[in-house]
Amino acid sequence: MLSRDEDILKAAETWRKDGRGVALATVVETWGSAPRPVGSNLVIDDEGNFLGSVSGGCVEGAVVTEAVDVIESGKPKVLEFGVADETAWQVGLSCGGTIRVYVEKVS
């Protein structure tokens, strides 16, 4: 789901105030044909609910799964998806590009 940056950050703040664990995923690098630009965000809670987009839908599932791990561990991760990645077709990134996504816990 695409949302404005303000909506995504407001959701992160509201979810934290509600006592949920929250992570923020941000596109930090793209190469070739990438579905979303650098700076695109996805906010995820500890139950896998999310708002925003880092890939137009093609890798959100994988990012949500990793984000839940980041919430539990508190350790940020950099994820990379692209056509050279053997999981690219599995997650739906067959557009010919590569994206790098930074996932961090919101405290």
- pLDDT the model gives residue 83: 60
- pLDDT the model gives residue 89: 54
Which string of DSSP letters, residue by residue, matches 5-72? HHHHHHHHHHHHHTT--EEEEEEEEEESS-SS-TT-EEEEETTS-EEE-SSTTSSHHHHHHHHHHHHH
The whole-model pTM stands at: 0.85
- Chain segment 25-65, per-residue pLDDT in tens: 999 999 887 888 999 999 999 999 999 999 877 789 999 99
List the domain range (segments joined by +) for residue 44.
Answer: 5-106
Number of domains in the chain: 1
